[in-house]
């Protein structure tokens, strides 16, 4: 799918160590003939690699992606699966992980750093202790899950919101929504285009993905 996307004109590739496809992304980029500087690469640190394993995880992602840098490096989650049971440990893991990400940013291994799936509480905590503030937050946003307060908070802090799942999950039936259908018909476009345009007008950066 990466090769097909690049051939179709896509120039942002959103991957993660947890997806298990960083090597395939690297191969597709090489075979595409598209210059590395023309493609924005995003990858993420999985929660199993948070803390003192973060620096090694970053080096591993760069090696698998066969590149000296990524354009955006994200902390995939604000903590481990046991976050509710052990918030103190997760707070420490976040701080350690962010320090490794700041080091990667300083070294040029990450052109920008950010977070994913953070709440306002997590962001406030990070902004209160970080040296390099997050440039981006990736989170689920679509007409059925608007996250208005969190978006407003991020924008007030200069954090760009990257809208994950902008067309929602297929089982939610967003693209069959009657209101979206009426708006789409009135403007001669598709419901998907209406949803994406709404996100863009909010100042968000939607990242759509293939169902396959």
- Which residues are known catalytic residues? 19
Nearest to 107 by CA among 164, 156, 69: 69
The Cα–Cα gap between 47 and 21 comes to 17
Quick one: the chain helix, strand, coil %, rounded to 5?
A: 50, 15, 35
The Cα–Cα gap between 123 and 153 comes to 9
φ/ψ of 39, rounded to 5, equals -120, 135
Q: Token match 């595409």: residue?
A: 32
Q: How far lies 74's CA from each of 47, 113, 177, in Å?
A: 11, 6, 32
On whether the CB atoms of residues 153 and 127 are closer than 8 A, the answer is: no
Q: How far lies 29's CA from each of 4, 141, 205, in Å?
A: 11, 28, 22
Neighbour count for residue 37 (Cβ, 10 Å):
7
């Amino acid at each position: 799918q990466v090769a097909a996307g690049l051939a179709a004109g896509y120039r942002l590739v959103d991957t993660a160590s947890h997806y298990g496809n960083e090597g395939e992304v690297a191969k597709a980029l090489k075979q595409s003939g598209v210059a590395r500087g023309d493609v924005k690469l995003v990858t993420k640190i999985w929660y199993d690699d948070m803390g003192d394993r973060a620096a090694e995880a970053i080096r591993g992602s760069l090696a698998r992606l066969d590149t000296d840098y990524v354009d955006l490096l994200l902390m995939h989650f604000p903590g481990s699966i046991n976050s509710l049971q052990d918030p103190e440990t997760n707070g420490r893991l976040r701080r350690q992980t962010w320090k490794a990400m700041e080091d990667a940013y300083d070294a040029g291994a990450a052109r920008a750093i950010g977070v994913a799936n953070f709440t306002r509480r997590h962001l406030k905590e990070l902004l209160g202790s970080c040296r390099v503030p997050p440039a981006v937050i990736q989170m689920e946003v679509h007409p059925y899950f608007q996250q208005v307060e969190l978006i407003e908070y991020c924008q007030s802090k200069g954090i760009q919101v990257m809208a994950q799942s902008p067309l929602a999950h297929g089982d939610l039936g967003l693209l069959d929504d009657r209101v979206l259908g009426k708006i789409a018909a009135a403007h001669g476009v598709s419901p998907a285009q209406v949803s994406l345009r709404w996100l863009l007008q909010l100042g968000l950066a939607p990242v759509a993905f293939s169902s396959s």
